A and B are shown apart, each in its own frame.
Chain A
Amino acid sequence: MNKLTTKNAFLGAIVAFAVSAGLLTAPAKAVDQITLTIWTFGEVIQPGLQREYQKLHPEIKIIPIKNDVDPLHQKTILSCQTGGPADIIAFEVPYSGYWRTGNRPACFQDLRQMKTSGSNADAGVAANLSALDIKKNYLPWRWEQGVAFNDSVIGIPTDVGGLQVAYRSDLFKKAGLPTDRVAVGKLWPTWEKFIATGQKYVSKLTAAEKKSGKGFIDDAGSIYAAVMNQGTVKYYQPDGTDAGKLVYKTNPQIKKAWDTTVKALNSGIGARLGQFTSDWNIGMNKGAMATILAPAWMLDYIKKQAPDTKGKWDIADLPVGGGNQGGTELGIPAYSKNKQAAYDFLTWYLAPEQQLKVFKTYGLFPSASVLYDDEALLGYKDEFFSNAPVGQIYTKGVLKLKPIFEGELQRKIDSTFGAGLGRVASKKMTSEKSYALVLSDIDKLFKN
């Protein structure tokens, strides 16, 4: 979800300037103005909902400042040492392991000690609710990702990156494959069948199409993360300690995910388009891929990048079923001067009602599990994706997920494996050699 955010930061700075200027010239305002500064990335803070909240609370100004995920992480570390202007900070789940470990949770306000003020009572958030009181609204394992190992609650989950397969029904038809989403889902109960379907698809492509780089799936490497997340353990195994036990060498799930992905890479079903590259964006419009393993939040991206493909896409179940990719937490830094206002905003913003609105406009799948049997979510269909019951399909997948322990260097280990698969994809190394290099690269991480 890396986006260019300089412009937003710039706008944010202008707004901040305007606000402070406004405060300076009009000190005689009846209500004290509170400014909530939110450090965020991507589409975590929705402008529509932000406006809605400011209508409810004219006394509160919300200023989201966007960064990319990794620089924001650094900014958060720095500001924890020095203090900073933020009242709310977003962090991605792969970084949650970092913040939950050691004495780092102290960087965030323990939300168990906060109580809602009741200022949003009319908007559906009752007074006197601590984080423990709202816990029941959320998917349990997703909630745990915001709970530190000293049991303090440092973040509340925004979305679940439920993963399913987005496919082009027109291209499937051309290749003689079924187009109905249920029938398509039945094509691939396993990843092996998924690869076999891909080979069938690729065999129907003309030589010219193959030469121009067309394939069945955008990036066969994306299968790795999907298979990994279908397990229960990734690189760290919970062993009662905060850090967890490192199992990147022994966990069979990793080897399984690696081998499946290598098989897919070698079978030639991938268009070898790295996600979020310019080739990927263009390829999406040109029908270079017939399938994308799409987390819920990616649907909006597809809509924006390839508006002309409206109605040609559909959504089917992921092989094996249940997948996850991404997700974000919102927390309040310990140094914030507006904790009460920030907590009131968070509890409102992440309440089920608002999560549903976000899902309908931006496709971020709600982490509020109370919605999962709500007709408003289950019945939601998306015109762009051939009226697929997006709500129902993603709910089904998310419910199959099991909690995964995210350790301190999760994100880094993930990207090391990603690079290893990249070497296999570009045929620079054999699978075995590349795998060995991945392990030694990770060893290095812990050596010094």
Chain B
Amino acid sequence: MTLLRDGKGRQKAPLTPWKKKSAKERKALPGIASLDGRWGYPAIAPFFLIFLIFGVAPVIYSIYIAFFKWDPLGESEFNGINNFIFLFQDSDFWIALRNTFSIWALSTFPQMVIAISLAAILRNKRLKGKSFWRTILLVPNITSIIAITIVFQQLFGRDYGLINGLLGLIPGVDHIDFIEGVIPSHVQIATMITWRWVGYNTLIFLASMLAIPDELYESASVDGATKWQQFKYVTLPSLKNTITFVLIVGTIGGLQVFAEPQQLNAEGGSTKQFLTLTLFLYNQAFLNNKYGYAAAIGIAITFIVLIISAINFFITRKLAGEGSR
């Protein structure tokens, strides 16, 4: 948000602020400096051109087909707003909405706690092999979702999974079916998402923790604050903006959960217990051949994202207002 607001002054600001030079000297460097003026638009054009073709055009097209019974290889007929009416009456849509938010909540909040804790540990100056730990945190993030799903299915297997194997050691505890149960299946999917993104978020938290001046901690310890109090009263408040950022990014990602549930069961489970919104859209289009309906679902998802973004925006503004001194 703040970046956008500052955008007005961009043309005047030097592109290379780390090299403070006079206007005369800048002219001596035609390559970079001229990018600022005449060449700016051509330089950004490729992105916007590609965005127009692969981003905007499909969006407009899908708004168009949302009003049809669409058959890519046959005749399509105009369907008015029937797709939208049907959508609100379709129980699967509401189940998918419920599942999406449940999985989002189960993955986002534990993830925050773990990521902040890990970052607090990695911040420790006496920690050995810092770069090793930081690098390894990103490994789950660059692993293919399919591979992660296969491994987790083995961990969460009902009969021979490791987790149920451990549960079985406790007398009187039955195996949990991590596919058939509503909450258990959400837990399984949320665990996969957490596993994939926790390292990435840890690094973001770590970066912002490292930016907290040491003096704050020193004066806190002079005042007699324990480590926990330092964390609570120095670290956490300084992370407020970062937490908001991670929350927004996590929400956008959370509304797009697709591959994990699809790998568990393409239909989203026998009672649609882990059918998510994007999987619902995909299945309507690509399993049921209802492209127009799927486009309508896409529009509905867009509105949901807009509503949540608006909520996020107001919360962020409020927090930012409080935070500014």
Contacts and interface: CB of A to CB of B under 8 A. Distances in A.
A81 B73 CA distance: 7
A444 B90 contact: yes
In this complex, the interface size class of chain A, counting residues with CB under 8 Å from chain B, is 35 or more
Nearest to A426: B180
B308 interface: no
Given A81-B72, A107-B73, A419 B267 contact: yes
Interface stretch (A31-39, A273-281, A303-311, A340-348): A273-281
A103 B288 contact: no
Contacts of B266: 70, 415
Interface stretch (B10-18, B150-158, B237-245): B150-158
Interface of A: 4, 6, 70, 73-74, 77-78, 80-81, 98, 102-104, 107, 212-213, 271-273, 277-279, 282-283, 286, 288, 409, 411-412, 415, 419-420, 422-423, 425-426, 428-429, 444-445, 447-448
Chain B at the A interface: mostly helix, strand, loop or mixed?
Answer: loop
Contacts of A273: 159
28 contacts: A70-B266, A70-B286, A73-B286, A80-B73, A102-B73, A103-B73, A104-B73, A272-B158, A273-B159, A277-B153, A277-B157, A278-B157, A282-B157, A282-B159, A282-B160, A283-B160, A286-B160, A288-B159, A409-B288, A411-B287, A412-B288, A419-B269, A419-B270, A425-B270, A426-B270, A428-B271, A429-B271, A445-B288
B256 interface: no
B86 interface: yes
B74 A103 contact: yes
Residue picked from A279, A419, A428, most chain B C-beta under 10 Å: A279
A279 B164 CA distance: 12
Contact of B73 (A77, A286, A411, A426): A77
Given A415-B287, A447-B86, 4 more contacts: A103-B73, A212-B159, A279-B157, A286-B160
A272 B290 CA distance: 32
B117 interface: no
A95 B322 CA distance: 59
A412 B284 CA distance: 11
Interface string B150-192: 1001100111110000000000000101001000000000000
Contacts of A4: 146, 150
B219 interface: no
Contacts of B82: 448
Interface of B: 69, 72-74, 79, 82-83, 86, 90, 144, 146, 150, 153-154, 157-161, 175, 177, 180, 266-267, 269-271, 286-290, 293
A77 B72 contact: yes
Pick the 3 closest A-B CB pairs, nearest first: A422-B270, A426-B180, A213-B159
Contacts of B286: 70, 73-74
Contacts of A283: 159-160
A270 B144 CA distance: 33
B74 A102 contact: yes
Contacts of A102: 73-74
Nearest to B268: A419
A271 B157 CA distance: 13
A70 B150 CA distance: 19
A102 B175 CA distance: 49
A4 B73 CA distance: 29
A288 B158 CA distance: 13
B180 A428 contact: yes
A415 B287 CA distance: 10
A302 B158 CA distance: 21
A223 B86 CA distance: 34
Nearest to B290: A448
A183 B217 CA distance: 81
Nearest to B73: A104
A406 B114 CA distance: 52
Contacts of A279: 157-161
B61 to A, nearest CB: 13
A448 B68 CA distance: 10
A447 B175 CA distance: 40
A277 B160 CA distance: 11
Nearest to A101: B74
A429 B266 CA distance: 21
Given A104-B73, A426-B270, A448 B83 contact: yes
B153 A278 contact: yes
B177 to A, nearest CB: 7
A445 B267 CA distance: 14
A272 B180 CA distance: 12
A326 B159 CA distance: 28
Contacts of B269: 419
Contacts of B72: 77-78, 81
Residue picked from B83, B160, B177, B290, most chain A C-beta under 10 Å: B160
A80 B269 CA distance: 31
A444 B280 CA distance: 14
Contacts of A420: 270
A213 B157 CA distance: 12
Contacts of B293: 448
A62 B153 CA distance: 35
B142 to A, nearest CB: 15
Contacts of B74: 102-104
A425 B293 CA distance: 31
Contacts of A80: 73
Contacts of B270: 419-420, 422-423, 425-426, 428
